[in-house]
Structure 1
């Protein structure tokens, strides 16, 4: 089957070129890869729609999944204790450690796209 014809108004026939540093180029390529799109499409979406395309979440391996499941079970147990009024000694340190671990996992899963403030 042939590709459908694009109307002259929708056809992208003009080219715009701009210069970037090597660091900016690498960042653009990384962002485009994490969104599953081409760099030109990424820039076009950001400029004309005002936001980046949604990022694809990377597939996590089985070990990471098992570890996240264990953390979830522990948090569920701690929540039950807290709801019943029983606060184990040192719970504040444990919760702080879990929050730090959660932030670390999220950074790894999202490939630390913290440089992009305008999502």
Structure 2
């Protein structure tokens, strides 16, 4: 099935040129990549809608949030047992593993946030 034809009012046929510095172009392209849109679409959204589109969350972040949620559930279960004066066997080894996972995740998040300089 073919794409429906646009009416004259909805057809984008007029070009508008904008001059940018190399630094501005680099920032525009990085922002467009982050939002998953073309730079022209990004500028049009910003100008006419008054906001930038929501950036797409990388898959690494979803996996990281999922891991953090699992760690939080584990900590919650352990906290309930400790508050009830029940100390399960191997508690220290579980806490050590959770600490290692947390350290790895925090390092990944810090490295990722410092890689985007804009």
The TM-score normalised by the length of structure 2 is 0.59
- Residues 33-72 of structure 1: matches in 2 within 5 Å? 33-60=33-60, 64=64, 68-69=68-69, 72=72
CA shift digits 1:62-112 (9 cap, x unpaired): 9846863575357647986xxx7xxxxxxxxxxxxx9xx49x827826x74
The structure number with the bigger radius of gyration is 2
Which has the larger share of helix? Answer: 2
Provide structure 2 residue ranges, at least 5 long, that are not aligned to the other structure.
84-102
Q: Which residue of 1 aligns with 2:3?
A: 3
Query: Deviating runs (4+, > 4 A) in structure 1?
Result: 61-67, 73-80
Name the structure, 1 or 2, with higher relative contact order (CA <8 Å, separation 6+).
1
* Equivalent residues, number: 99
The TM-score normalised by the length of structure 1 is 0.58
**1:60 match: secondary structure:** helix
